[in-house]
Structure 1
């Protein structure tokens, strides 16, 4: 497979629409070459260097947040269904090591006759003739220790093969130049594995261990395929990644204490505890609790009210809020919000911030005036979030708190109520216009 040239990268990058048949997010190589699919609402940068960095960031996010059970492609996209187990981090590690250190070579110790160098007295006494000089003996030549680099060793040849394989698939992320073709042309999993595994057991160098482990991951991957002509790394279910991104950036780790639980108390004295309702994310700020539901919905891209969360989601959020307000006391204020993706530079929702409050969802069966009864719709700039995944990011938390509370601080709000679906009877979606 040829490497992607510099000016071809942009043509290979696109943003998923999240419509049927266009939900894959990640990198895939098929018959027509490599394509990079970014998530719904992502903003592709204009600069090629930034674009490459964004591809790397996409890989890092998917590696961290996409579980193997989510990395499954539908049958119609592949000759046979299989999990997407492409070891992309191993490939990237091999490329980075090569670009920093070149090919791996073993240092071979040799001994030779010379008057300079580190003398091996044992070998010199054994193999060289000493000449008398006064009351002592001298040697005209010594046996000295010499360390030379051996690029003919088997581990070096296997490394050449792994480097070339890495550049064929992912070298375009780093450079348009391909390394030389390996001297070993035929892949031999048993031989390659034995050679690398032996070297891994002999080294105490952490960098060499990382390299050898990456090589083993590649060898195992290649050995599980017949002759792999295509590879996939990514997910068809980016909504799960979106949930984890939101939770990692804004949430607390011990959120299970905020889960509403239910129990069956049977007439015969038995009892059954049901599975708790689990909100996506709980965010805290002082005496305020924010219940966040990450929704990988299309509204931030389309602006179509039908693409907003439905009645079941709104009612569930109100239930969460009511439970927390009841459980944690009157001095606590509880807020509710849906977090959806968008591109902050697009005309419909353009904003200098990377968050935007677009309205709120309410239910006609709850009119006590509690804050949690008004579920705020917040758009989050996808690119900013993916570049800013830091646990307990206080600046991001402050911004989100302000955006959620904006609706409660404004004296007047211009809104329009949209009936978005028959199932939403009793629900109003108030969208700022």
Structure 2
């Protein structure tokens, strides 16, 4: 069991708040315009941690034990480096996923289990006080041979080598650990029933060079796995603290937190992991349409040239579909939208959160590019918007399919979007109708990394509705 799972499963008995009190599931519903309704993760507010879950994770706050499991799932998703690799530079800049949450947790766990780290050394001496070290006694003390009451020879040691453990509580590594424990208690202690008032005030002020040198020396000289885990966690903490004061100079957040300003990039990454299946021999970039510049000369060749490739500006003139899924003879172009459409809203409000005309036009452009340029010759091309919803709320107002409960990823069909400049229904080009699929947020976060039959399920869900 991981450190996080262990502490969630076995919280400290002296907790002064319910774990559920730290959890916020409905921030997205807030009508307070001053509140940040898009942040997902852990943030310190009024010297207390607050855990913000993504929109649609649950319909209402669950019991205490369920909140703890939800928290574990959330941290696992936020900490997944494979999901972070999908982020743009701007998304990374707006996030603060470099906060070493697990390092803070490891330092706090060691304190809860063993107290402060105190370096010890073993002292050996002659005498009878202490635990006998027989190997050293046999090696260094000459025994005496005496007769027992039956006249037999017996070996007797008239002196012994004993050992004692000496603890050095004024050692630098102990003082550094006390500093790290105080930092951990201030930020995440309340989650585990630890108040910062319960831990000692550190005797040292923060000194990165001194702290890092002391910890690295101990790492180099330590072979105890438990101690190594602690020292590595402490090193991550002091490195984070060294860089923390510099945050904000480049537009980053400058506050202790672990999370993202918006969950949309993670939603897109999870959907892509579940559904992406590229045609053999092609990469995702092969499906990117480009804009080209022509100076207006009639003699200029409009065909793509090496010069045009050089002139092309990828930041401005490249369109990138979110996910390409090949299934049998069909091709699906998916666009992930972290919109409120699938949430429990008044019917009049729901249409305000549908994808706009720009998104619709881009999806059609992607499909036309595949059809005309890539030469894949799929039987049909389908466009799909993928949006979140909460299965607990059952708020779509749509009938459930017969096999709905059997699906590991709960998904619903919600209708389709089309442009009135295209004929509908179009029996040849199905991609002129963009289907809308709703995916349950909680099941996506739970199963995005686990192979499922979701690709076939999505195909069956969309195809039978759009044909």
Give the TM-score, by structure 1 length.
Answer: 0.76
**Paired residues for 1:24-423 under 5 Å:** 24-31=39-46, 33-43=48-58, 44-64=60-80, 65=83, 69-70=90-91, 85-98=98-111, 103-114=116-127, 116-120=132-136, 125=140, 140-144=158-162, 153-175=171-193, 180-182=198-200, 184-189=202-207, 190-205=209-224, 207-224=226-243, 231-252=256-277, 254-261=283-290, 267=300, 271-273=307-309, 274=312, 275=314, 276-301=318-343, 302=345, 303=347, 304-326=350-372, 327-349=374-396, 354-363=410-419, 364-365=421-422, 367=426, 369-390=428-449, 393-408=451-466
> For the residues of structure 2 that align with 1:263 and 1:257, how far apart are their CA atoms?
16
> For the residues of structure 1 that align with 2:25 and 2:17, how far apart are their CA atoms?
16
**Number of residue pairs matched by the alignment:** 394
> Given that residues 22 and 49 in structure 2 are in contact (C-alpha distance below 8 angstroms), is that contact kept between their aligned partners in structure 1?
no
Cα 1:251–1:93 change in 2 (3 A) is: farther
Deviation at 1:234, TM superposition (A): 1.9
Cα 1:365–1:206 change in 2 (3 A) is: farther
Q: Encode CA deviations 1:210-242: one digit per residue, 9 max, x unaligned.
A: 43222112223334557x996222222322222
Q: Encode CA deviations 1:10-35: one digit per residue, 9 max, x unaligned.
A: 36524232886422222211336332
> For the residues of structure 1 that align with 2:238 and 2:306, how far apart are their CA atoms?
55
* 380-389 vs 57-66, which moves further: 57-66
> Given that residues 259 and 277 in structure 1 are in contact (C-alpha distance below 8 angstroms), is that contact kept between their aligned partners in structure 2?
yes
> For the residues of structure 2 that align with 1:379 and 1:100, how far apart are their CA atoms?
44
2:79 aligned counterpart, secondary structure: helix
Specify which structure has the higher proportion of strand. Answer: 1
> Given that residues 49 and 191 in structure 2 are in contact (C-alpha distance below 8 angstroms), is that contact kept between their aligned partners in structure 1?
no
RMSD after superposition? 3.9
> For the residues of structure 2 that align with 1:195 and 1:235, how far apart are their CA atoms?
33
Deviation at 1:252, TM superposition (A): 3.9
2:21 to 10, 13, 16: 10
Give the TM-score, by structure 2 length.
Answer: 0.71
Structure 2 regions of 5+ residues with no counterpart?
Answer: 1-13, 148-154, 248-253
Deviation at 1:51, TM superposition (A): 0.7
1:23 aligned counterpart, secondary structure: coil
Q: Encode CA deviations 1:84-115: one digit per residue, 9 max, x unaligned.
A: 75322321233345556665454522212257
Cα 1:328–1:151 change in 2 (3 A) is: farther
